[in-house]
Each structure stands twice: as C-alpha cells, then as structure tokens.
Amino acid sequence: IEQEGVTVKSSSHFNPDPDAETLYKAMKGIGVGSQLLSHQAAAFTFPSSALTSVSPWGQQGHLCCIPAGTNEQAIIDVLTKRSNTQRQQIAKSFKAQFGKDLTETLKSELSGKFERLIVALMYPPYRYEAKELHDAMKGSRDDVSSFVDPGLALQDAQDLYAAGEKIRGTDEMKFITILCTRSATHLLRVKCTQNLHSYFAERLYYAMKGAGTRDGTLIRNIVSRSEIDLNLIKCHFKKMYGKTLSSMIMEDTSGDYKNALLSLVGSDP
C-alpha cells in the first residue's frame, strides 16, 4: 500500500556522480557541444580580417565559449526523478566534484516559484519540516498556522468519533467542548487525523481554487507527500472535485514551475 501511494521513487541503477555532473553542466552556462568545439578549435587560428564583430570567434581567431543559460529541464529531469535520499547523495557528489554547495548553486541560478520548489526538494525531510515550522511561527507561511499538540489532536479525533459516529446517538456536550475551545488550526489537525488523504486533497484544491495560487501550500504538500502517499491523495482529489490534480496544476501554474510540479505528481489515477 505504501508503494502504491508514492509518486517519487528511488531511481534504479542510481549513481550520484553523473547526476551531479549533469546538474553542473545544466547550471554552468556552457553546453557540452560548445565545450567540445572549443577544445577542437583551440589549435586553429583564423585571420582577424575574416572575423566580424558579431562572430563567435575571438580577436585572436580562437572560438569563444558561448553561455547557453541554465538548462531547467535537465534540473527537473534529475531532481524530480530521484528520492530525497538520492538527492542528498547527489549533493555530496556535487560538492566533492566541483567544490560547491548544490542548494546554494541552485538558488543562484534559479528564481521565483520554480526556485522555491527545487530548493524544497533538496532539504532532508526533517529539515524541511523544521524550516516550515520555523516559517509558521514567524508568520511567513501562506496558510493558517500556529502550534498544535499532535497528541491532543489525536485524542480529540478519537473522542469526536466516539461521540458522533461510533455509537448510535450523539454526545452533544463532547462536540460543543471540542469545537468551542480548540483553535482553528487544532481543528484542522483533528480533521487531518480523521481522514488524512481527504485532508491533503482539500488543502491542494483550495491552494489553487479562486484568484491567485497559494504556492507555499501547493509546494509544501506536494513535496512532503510525494514519497509517502501522493498517489492516494490524487485519487481522493478526483473523487472529491471531479477533476485530476494534474489538470488543475496545468490550469493554475506555468513554465518550468508547472513542469516540475507535474513531474512530481506523476500520471493521473
């Protein structure tokens, strides 16, 4: 069941070294072809009169390397198709081979929502959760956030089930006590405890519904659930809203950001 829920799985025959090299070349600004051509042409010199001001050949007649820009698709192909554990190995290989921190290099090369998503993928899960909690306490997250006691939320979920669903009749006082004395965020946690996959489906839906997109919510839920149960969340999403998660992402996002999200989400149920 766990494997059925996962949209991002470990790559078979994984080797971090070529992946790190692919990322380096994708962000170096010089394509493999231009590098090779430069080396091959280094021994040849052309008369300066044959060169024009717009020529790729330098004043001494040597071929210059023309920066090709960042290859975003190559970054998507590597990082969204590797498990988090494999991404950490790629980062170590990147540092060993090129002496640079992969996450910091990604930050310097990318921008906007695409950068935010790709950088989120590079955090180990426990660090990502700690960062999101820190942001929540600073008030910088784009959804309702405050401290919740997970144990109390679980107990409340069990009490509500016992009071209203498990037995015939309803313990109205129990409902009143919980619903009137708990915070809104706590009650969201209770709802999450009752039906996990429906909860995340709802969070994703309302992150994109209406004017504007709550990108923090969208990124956080897709990144954090992609190696746990995103496939199961997708099934609930379709049942609840009559459309697929990927179709809504296609309607609401664009560019490399959209492509990376779709790669993480995978095929429709």
Give the annotated binding-site residues: 208, 210, 212, 252
Annotated binding-site positions for Ca(2+): 208, 210, 212, 252
DSSP string, 114-167: HHHHHHHHHS-HHHHHHHHHHHHHHT-SSS------HHHHHHHHHHHHHHHTSS
The CA angle 69-72-76, to the nearest 5 degrees, is 160
Give CA separation, 239 vs 78, 84, 209, in Å.
31, 29, 16
**DSSP code at position 65:** P
Q: Are 35 and 28 in contact (CB under 8 A)?
A: no
Tokens of 72: 């975003």
Question: What's the CA dihedral at 220, 225, 230, 233 to 10 degrees?
Answer: -70
Q: What number of other Cβ atoms are within 10 A of residue 256's Cβ?
A: 20
In sequence order, the β-bridge partners of residue 57 are 63
